[in-house]
Amino acid sequence: MSTFAYVNTYAHSVTHVTEKLLLSLKEIIRESGLSPERLTDQWGNLHRGIRTWLNSQHLETVILEVFDSGTDALVGRWDFDIFYSSTGEGGLWVDTDDIKYHILKSGRWPSQCDYRVVVTNKSGRPDVVGWSQCEFRSTEGFVRQSLGTTIGGNEYVSSTASYWRKVQ
């Protein structure tokens, strides 16, 4: 009986964290002055990949790269680092207020910017249709600002958030 309860609770936690990660990305994109249309067009594929890799515990980081569509240079970035644990705070939650505060703090991106969602995985991860390998844009000249834990999925999985800003 306890095995069933764990599996059921873990699956619910994976679904919660997947959905809150994607909704957080949508909020960041929209509040930063970009159109969320590309994200919503890819929602099913993004959901399938993130859920699969959270479930198998291969997902390490979900990254939103924002870049100048003319130069392809990085303009900003948000990282959601994933942590798996059998201890810690229980409950399903998300701290959208902290994310919104830091969006305002970091400012809006120019309208000519584009974005993409990329992930890092542990080796041995299952393949997911629609996902492929890619190179990250350089973060040289940027500094990472951490928000701490922003998404909790019971005691099984959580996510911290951070954003990259240009060094002044």
SS3 163: strand
Determine the average pLDDT of the residues in 45-52. 98
Band (pLDDT 50/70/90 cuts) for residue 88 is low
Determine the average pLDDT of the residues in 62-86. 94
Band (pLDDT 50/70/90 cuts) for residue 87 is low
Find out if CATH 3.30.900.10 is the number for domain 2-166: yes
State how far the Cα of 128 lies from the Cα of 82, in Å rounded to an integer.
18
Task: Report the chain's mean pLDDT, rounded to a whole number.
Answer: 90
Separation of first and last alpha carbons in the chain = 56
108 or 46, which is more confident?
46
Determine the average pLDDT of the residues in 72-90. 85
**Structural domain boundaries of the chain?**
2-166
In sequence order, the 6+-apart residues with CB closer than 8 A to the CB of 122 are 57, 58, 59, 60
Please write the tens of the pLDDT for every residue from 120-159. Answer: 999 999 999 999 999 999 999 999 999 999 998 888 899 9
**Tokens representing 137?**
């844009």
